[in-house]
Chain A
Amino acid sequence: MTLDETMHGFPQLATAMPVWHGTVEAKPFRDLCEEVRRSGGKLVALWGSDETARENGYALHAALITVRGMLCLSLPIAVDRPAFPDISDLFPGANRMQRAVADMLGLHALGSDDQRKWLRHASWPGDVHPLRKSFDAANKFPTDSDAYAFVPVSGDGVHEIPVGPVHAGTIEPGHFRFSIIGERVLRLEQRLGYTHKGIEKRFEQMTLTQGAKLAGRISGDSTVAYAWAYAQAVESVTGAQPSARALALRGVLLELERIHNHLGDLGYLGNDVALAFGFAQFWILKEDALRMNGELFGHRYLMDKVLPGGVSCDLDERGCERIRQLLSHLENEVSVLRNIYDEHAGAQDRFLSTGRVSPDLAAQLGLTGMAGRASGQAWDLRAQFPCAPYDQLEVNMATHRNGDVAARVTVRFEELSESIRLIRRLLDLLPAGELQIAVGNAPDKAFGIGWVEGWRGEVLVALHTAPDNAIHRLHPHDPSWQNWPVLEHAIIGNIVPDFPLINKSFNLSYSGQDL
């Protein structure tokens, strides 16, 4: 049976995106993963859930993407044998997800040679698993020592530089262990998980309505993407269908979010090569965008604007005009700045060939989102599986084959212009309709998916419901999960002082992959 036939043999979810969901045993689970890998597909997310309260043991869930859409697989796991087949040989990005499942739920990847902890530091003991239903959140644990086995690199003249988790600048915490020879990096190993907040556990105490607010706070720079993905998941389990106007407004908000993030990153990339001029100019533009957001929508970063059933804001003719003005201003300024970046010999010398991820390597490691597109990975949900409002817009995907910092800069510039075009189209087409419709009740044990192309890449929210509109398990998945390990490869062979620039060109979320 081909992959397509198997996939279509499973029930399709009633969601805006093409998603099929099936429950399978361990053997077919692994076989289907192999099949997806062979057909050029990728792993989007991997998470576990505790079904013991339903007397059903545990379960492991995997979201895989193929050219046809998403295939979600659920694998039941017995309580007395908490293990599942290792798939990190097929999808290298699965390694950290599997280790996180082991930390949070005590389910282990059978046959994986990397059984180290990932998200757990010294704050709770190894035999305590916070996402189990039997876990008591009121428990306090003594702080233990955090022994972690970094992969040692030996050889003549090789030495290590430990960096972080506290940095000289105001950035998120993460530890980087460089093995270097002279200034050349032989190996980088990351140790993340310093931002654990218990968000997934908190969701389980919430109803579907309450969860919307928390979903918007998982990753502040992608609040629209997360809120939309959450809303999509809730709408798919309740069967709610937001109006065309609400969907168009969501599109405007998501593209505005993409614009201000790309502007900020382009500024930071200038700053990292000490071109402080570019930094100041792009951040003036970003500030213009944020102020307009605050003025029109009441929140600079657009939090709580997308809600299940619709949106909580509206645009009148004056508001549309205000956005159009900003877009023209941005378009003019950015084209001038792009010329300056492109023609600045010093900046180009730093950007070109730095931190290169070849298309082959990107495909092998499953590089996703904006960084993936800069390495020839042509995946963009807005173009491939366009749901409303993108189905009327014919989104042009920006891709590049070089995979270096310069390519990621170029893709950002191109996505910026594309977002400007998309917002203009959306404003021109803005249909009438209700802003928010009432969301009905969700059945127990329902499964919903929200899947949105945020500025960093595809944001996934997987929702398992409990009775009375409560959340049984909710897994928000940031594209940073897939891309952090690729960064370890991007730096190999580069020199130490280029790391901040390479890191910034990916700009991954520390907090988004450590809930």
Chain B
Amino acid sequence: MNLSALLFQLLQDTLVVLAAPLLLGWVNQCRAWLQNRSGAGVLQPYRKLIKLFHKDAVLAHNASPLFRFMPYILFACMWLAAALVPVLATDLPLSPAVDVIALVGIFALARVFISLAAMDIGTAFGTLGARREMLVGFLAEPALLMVFFTASVISHSTSLITIVETLAHTQFVLYPSLAFAAVAFVMVLLAENARIPVDNPSTHLELTMIHEAMILEYSARHLALIEWASALKLLAYITIGIALFLPWGIAAADHWSALPIALVALFVKLTAAGAGLALLETLSAKMRIFRVPEFMGTAFLLAVLGMLTHFLLGS
């Protein structure tokens, strides 16, 4: 391991944690434009975080340590996930750890903690949200795993780095199986990040909430960390999507000379993905909660179809 690679890794990790709210701000701004509103600007999530960090935290009397620690665990999980995804370069010190199954595990760990913390206080909404989150989560996880397996049968590895290198740096080949997997992945992304049509991140109707219901009792720095973690999760998911389906432009290793191109490519891809997400959200209405199993079932089915296509067409 050399110093240059370590620096590259640090740069990537700092970039994701600082840029995550910007992506969220961009998605919200696009949504505002699509709805004929002027919007609050792409920097609004930063302002919100600053505001929340300056407030005094209010905790329920019966809150256990779990409730207090959850935001930190959640933030750590999401930062780790976002930092592991090869965003700028593939061959970095943490690269050997980047296994797609481990990524799914990190998301699951965060989900367990946020659900437990939601039930910790004992309010009706926390439990309601946790129940719904588990419903969505246990349906989304297998679909996500199938998407990863479809990608990994091409490169014969579950390492995200190998997958990216196979796709980005070898001869260009069209994989029909990845088209199925990509659609399934977008559906999982919407569900896992509490976006429309599964959940509504901007709702004030407590009875309809999933993610928001779980964090209703949080305030100040705790809430700030949770919001930041949500932004990181969205970034992690979108960069995973980019790594799997649009990896071109990424630097092969810690080549500093490739950095500008990698940065520009990442910026362009995130901008397009954010706008696309906003468009999808604007066009859809939120579905009834019992349609979510059908929605996630479709995602799973598409991922399976992708896998079958791969074997049927031969590699």
> Chain B: which residue is nearest A160 at the CB level?
B124
- Do A162 and B124 have beta carbons less than 8 Å apart? yes
Q: List 27 A-B contacts (CB under 8 A).
A: A161-B124, A167-B204, A168-B204, A168-B216, A270-B285, A273-B286, A274-B284, A274-B285, A275-B286, A276-B31, A276-B202, A276-B282, A277-B34, A279-B35, A281-B36, A346-B197, A346-B286, A349-B285, A350-B285, A350-B286, A350-B287, A495-B288, A496-B128, A497-B207, A497-B208, A498-B288, A499-B207
CA–CA, A347 and B200, complex, Å: 14
CA–CA, A360 and B125, complex, Å: 35
CA–CA, A349 and B216, complex, Å: 28
Residues of B within 8 A of A274 (CB): 196-197, 200, 203, 284-286
Known: A273-B286, A350-B288; 6 extra A-B contacts, CB below 8 A, are A160-B124, A168-B206, A170-B204, A277-B35, A349-B285, A500-B205
A169 contacts B by Cβ under 8 Å: yes
Measured CB to CB, the closest approach of chain A to B129, in angstroms, equals: 11
A163 contacts B by Cβ under 8 Å: yes
- Do B36 and A280 have beta carbons less than 8 Å apart? yes
Interface string of B29-49 (1 = CB under 8 A from A): 001001111000000000000
Residues of A within 8 A of B197 (CB): 274, 346
- Do A161 and B128 have beta carbons less than 8 Å apart? yes
- Do B291 and A500 have beta carbons less than 8 Å apart? no
> Chain B: which residue is nearest A270 at the CB level?
B285
A68 contacts B by Cβ under 8 Å: no
CA–CA, A281 and B207, complex, Å: 25
* Main secondary structure on B side of the interface with A: loop
- Do B207 and A276 have beta carbons less than 8 Å apart? no
| Given A277-B35, A280-B36, A284-B36: A167 touches B285 (CB 8 Å cut-off) | no
Residues of A within 8 A of B209 (CB): 168
- Do B285 and A346 have beta carbons less than 8 Å apart? yes
> Chain A: which residue is nearest B205 at the CB level?
A500
A103 contacts B by Cβ under 8 Å: no
CA–CA, A493 and B47, complex, Å: 43
* Main secondary structure on A side of the interface with B: helix
Residues of B within 8 A of A163 (CB): 124, 206-207
Residues of A within 8 A of B203 (CB): 274
**Top-8 shortest CB links A-B:** A169-B204, A346-B285, A274-B286, A500-B205, A280-B35, A497-B208, A161-B124, A274-B200
- Do B206 and A346 have beta carbons less than 8 Å apart? no
A342 contacts B by Cβ under 8 Å: no
Measured CB to CB, the closest approach of chain A to B217, in angstroms, equals: 12
CA–CA, A284 and B37, complex, Å: 9
B290 contacts A by Cβ under 8 Å: yes
CA–CA, A499 and B291, complex, Å: 16
CA–CA, A279 and B202, complex, Å: 13
A8 contacts B by Cβ under 8 Å: no
Residues of A within 8 A of B37 (CB): 280
Measured CB to CB, the closest approach of chain B to A504, in angstroms, equals: 9
Measured CB to CB, the closest approach of chain B to A274, in angstroms, equals: 3
A4 contacts B by Cβ under 8 Å: no
CA–CA, A495 and B200, complex, Å: 17
A329 contacts B by Cβ under 8 Å: no
Partner of B206, one of A167, A281, A344, A347: A167
Residues of B within 8 A of A281 (CB): 35-36
> Chain B: which residue is nearest A499 at the CB level?
B207
Q: Please report the number of residue pairs spanning A and B whose Cβ atoms sit closer than 8 angstroms.
A: 79
A272 contacts B by Cβ under 8 Å: yes
- Do B290 and A183 have beta carbons less than 8 Å apart? yes
- Do B284 and A346 have beta carbons less than 8 Å apart? yes
Interface residues of A in 270-292 (CB under 8 A from B): 270, 272-277, 279-281, 284
Size of interface on A: residues with Cβ below 8 Å to B: 31
CA–CA, A183 and B290, complex, Å: 9
CA–CA, A284 and B35, complex, Å: 11
Measured CB to CB, the closest approach of chain A to B136, in angstroms, equals: 13
B31, B209, B287, B291: residue with the most chain A Cβ atoms closer than 10 Å: B287
B36, B200, B208, B290: residue with the most chain A Cβ atoms closer than 10 Å: B208
> Chain B: which residue is nearest A170 at the CB level?
B204
CA–CA, A327 and B284, complex, Å: 29
Interface string of B189-216 (1 = CB under 8 A from A): 0000000110010111111110000001
CA–CA, A39 and B202, complex, Å: 49
CA–CA, A277 and B128, complex, Å: 28
CA–CA, A344 and B291, complex, Å: 16
- Do A496 and B288 have beta carbons less than 8 Å apart? no
CA–CA, A274 and B197, complex, Å: 8
Measured CB to CB, the closest approach of chain A to B130, in angstroms, equals: 13
B104 contacts A by Cβ under 8 Å: no
Residues of A within 8 A of B284 (CB): 274-275, 346
CA–CA, A275 and B197, complex, Å: 9
CA–CA, A277 and B205, complex, Å: 17
CA–CA, A162 and B34, complex, Å: 36
Residues of B within 8 A of A500 (CB): 205, 207-208
CA–CA, A275 and B280, complex, Å: 11
Residues of A within 8 A of B207 (CB): 161, 163, 496-497, 499-500
Residues of A within 8 A of B124 (CB): 160-163
CA–CA, A160 and B123, complex, Å: 11
- Do A497 and B291 have beta carbons less than 8 Å apart? no
Interface string of A147-175 (1 = CB under 8 A from B): 00000000000001111000111100000
> Chain B: which residue is nearest A275 at the CB level?
B285
Interface residues of B in 252-302 (CB under 8 A from A): 282, 284-291
CA–CA, A409 and B57, complex, Å: 42
Measured CB to CB, the closest approach of chain B to A512, in angstroms, equals: 22
Measured CB to CB, the closest approach of chain B to A150, in angstroms, equals: 14
A170, A274, A350, A500: residue with the most chain B Cβ atoms closer than 10 Å: A274
> Chain A: which residue is nearest B212 at the CB level?
A168
Residues of A within 8 A of B205 (CB): 168-169, 272, 500
> Chain B: which residue is nearest A351 at the CB level?
B285
CA–CA, A169 and B200, complex, Å: 14
Measured CB to CB, the closest approach of chain A to B112, in angstroms, equals: 22
